């Protein structure tokens, strides 16, 4: 095989290899198995040779091949794999066109039939630059997600946008091939790709910012409603306690009469029929939210009150323990509400499924952190923890199962959050530590 054929085969080969590697890295997948590597190499070699016969249209086969590999070797839903691959391919296309423009204007070459230093530079720009961009995206992702805490909820939309962009890009490329690729068409395509890419990013971030504002406004409204429900619950509690205090005097007077008359049998019957029954009123759910008065952080108090009142309305036995005042939480309010909302929603759904069990919430604050402990009864056959935290996995049906994976990403990307999860004796426990 002569050099004129070897160079394009090698470029296509490395394009597929680097595209797949970048896709896995961007998705946080760092492990490779021997079968996966072997298949990748074989498919990349085949793509390189097919390129000699069908030209740029081999990109369709490359994308299909990588999607098949991702389906079997990447632990995620197909839409996320396709979306990530789309953005990686977009970066590869842009960098390849940058290299093509350099070939045309610096080396006076058309296409990829190049030699020596220009071949080396072309390779670095085509494959090294996308890798650097992927590395920068991974580094910048935590700060972006801090600005948009619910960015993970947009992953399906982002994936669809990426796939749509990739289709538009390849339509432009194939149209350029049909017209006869030259330096002017490559340059025009590059300018179009860059402008379209940044306009899409700008549009998305404007939409995300608008959504964040709407979310925060909605959250404030929910917070207000939760506080209203909490205050109503407290008012009802005080009314009941006032009634109980009034009855308490009468109970003591009746007991005094039994004691003075030394009627122990009557006292025993009176205790079990009246006194014991009355004392159980204090243990009812209506009196278990009083401890939330120690929570002075508005958003924390509102989400707990809202979810616990909802649990009580569903007939779920709840226990609340806040022994000390909670006056500060070093965590973004939106992220805090999302994390606790996901925990409590999952617990309530699980207890509804069981038809019995207990939901327990405990909070305490020390010199270094606020500790939040949530525990609920769970079914015996509940899936393993690593499955529950896998994006897209759910015990509740299709298009669910992003809650715990979203929580895991929020915790992983924050320096002051620590989450411990355990399932012991049919009790599902989440312990969240928020350091100051």
Per-residue pLDDT tens for 69-78?
A: 999 998 888 9
In this structure, the answer to whether residues 204 and 323 fall within a common structural domain is no
H runs (alpha helix) in 148-263: 155-179, 183-260
Among residues 160, 189, 216, which one ends one of the domains? 216
Q: Rounded distance, CA 125 to CA 189, Å?
A: 17
- Residue 256 domain-assigned? no
- Residue 30 domain-assigned? yes
Beta bridge mates, 430: 374, 421
- Name the residue among 361, 375, 363, 357 with its Cα closest to residue 314: 357
Please, what's the b/e burial string for 323-359 (b: 16 or more CB within 10 A of its CB; e: otherwise)? Answer: eeebeebebbbbbbbbbbbbbbebbbebbeeeeebeb
In this structure, the answer to whether residues 301 and 431 fall within a common structural domain is yes
Give pLDDT tens digits for 293-330.
888 887 888 888 888 888 888 888 888 898 788 988 98
- How many of the other CB atoms lie within 10 Å of CB of 309? 18
Among residues 159, 183, 216, which one ends one of the domains? 216
- How many of the other CB atoms lie within 10 Å of CB of 142? 15
- Residue 231 domain-assigned? no
Structural domain boundaries enclosing 162 = 3-216
Among residues 216, 250, 275, which one ends one of the domains? 216
The pLDDT value recorded for residue 104 is: 77
In this structure, the answer to whether residues 37 and 129 fall within a common structural domain is yes
Reduced to 3 states, what is the DSSP secondary structure of residue 59? helix
Residues 6+ apart with CB under 8 A from 132: none
- Residue 232 domain-assigned? no
Domain count, the chain: 2
CATH code at position 371: 3.30.565.10
- Residue 410 domain-assigned? yes
Give pLDDT tens digits for 32-82.
899 999 999 999 999 999 998 888 889 999 999 999 999 999 888 899 899
- Residue 325 domain-assigned? yes
Reduced to 3 states, what is the DSSP secondary structure of residue 363? strand
- Residue 73 domain-assigned? yes
Question: What is the value of pTM for the model shown?
Answer: 0.61
- Residue 308 domain-assigned? yes
| Pairing mode of beta strands 427-435, 358-365 | unpaired
How many Cα neighbours within 13 Å face the side chain of 345?
14
């Amino acid at each position: 095989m002569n050099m004129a054929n070897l160079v394009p085969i090698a470029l296509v080969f490395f394009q597929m290899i680097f595209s797949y590697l970048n896709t896995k890295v961007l998705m946080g997948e760092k492990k490779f198995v021997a079968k996966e590597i072997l298949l990748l190499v074989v498919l990349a070699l085949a793509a390189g040779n097919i390129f000699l016969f069908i030209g740029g249209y081999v990109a369709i086969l490359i994308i299909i091949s990588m999607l098949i590999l991702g389906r079997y070797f990447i632990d995620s839903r197909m839409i996320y794999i396709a979306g990530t691959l789309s953005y990686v391919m977009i970066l590869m296309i842009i960098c390849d066109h940058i290299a093509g423009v350099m070939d045309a204007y610096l080396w006076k070459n058309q296409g990829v039939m190049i030699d020596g230093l220009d071949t080396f530079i072309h390779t670095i720009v085509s494959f090294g630059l996308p890798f650097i961009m992927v590395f920068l995206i991974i580094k910048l992702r935590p700060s972006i997600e801090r600005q948009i805490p619910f960015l993970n909820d947009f992953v399906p939309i982002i994936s669809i946008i990426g796939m749509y962009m990739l289709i538009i890009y390849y339509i432009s490329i194939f149209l350029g091939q049909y017209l006869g690729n030259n330096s002017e068409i490559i340059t025009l395509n590059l300018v179009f790709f860059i402008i379209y890419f940044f306009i899409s990013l700008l549009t998305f971030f404007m939409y995300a910012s608008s959504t964040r504002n709407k979310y925060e406004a909605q959250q404030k409204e929910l917070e207000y409603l939760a506080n209203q429900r909490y205050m109503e619950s407290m008012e009802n509690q005080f009314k009941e306690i006032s009634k109980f205090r009034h009855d308490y005097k009468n109970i003591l007077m009746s007991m005094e009469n039994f004691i003075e008359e030394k009627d122990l049998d009557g006292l025993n019957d009176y205790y079990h029929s009246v006194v014991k029954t009355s004392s159980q009123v204090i243990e009812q759910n209506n009196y278990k939210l009083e401890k939330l008065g120690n929570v002075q952080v508005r958003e924390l108090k509102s989400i707990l009150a809202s979810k616990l009142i909802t649990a009580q309305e569903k007939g779920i036995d709840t226990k609340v323990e806040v022994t000390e005042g909670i006056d500060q939480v070093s965590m973004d309010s939106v992220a805090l509400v999302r994390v606790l909302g996901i925990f409590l929603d999952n617990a309530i759904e699980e207890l509804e499924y069981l038809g019995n069990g207990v939901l327990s919430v405990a909070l305490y604050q020390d010199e270094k952190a606020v500790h939040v402990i949530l525990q609920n009864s769970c079914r015996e056959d509940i899936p393993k923890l690593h499955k529950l935290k896998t994006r897209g996995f759910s015990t509740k049906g299709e298009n669910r199962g992003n809650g715990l994976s979203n929580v895991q990403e929020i915790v992983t990307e924050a320096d002051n959050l620590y989450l411990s999860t355990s399932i012991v004796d049919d009790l599902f426990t989440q312990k969240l530590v928020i350091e100051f």
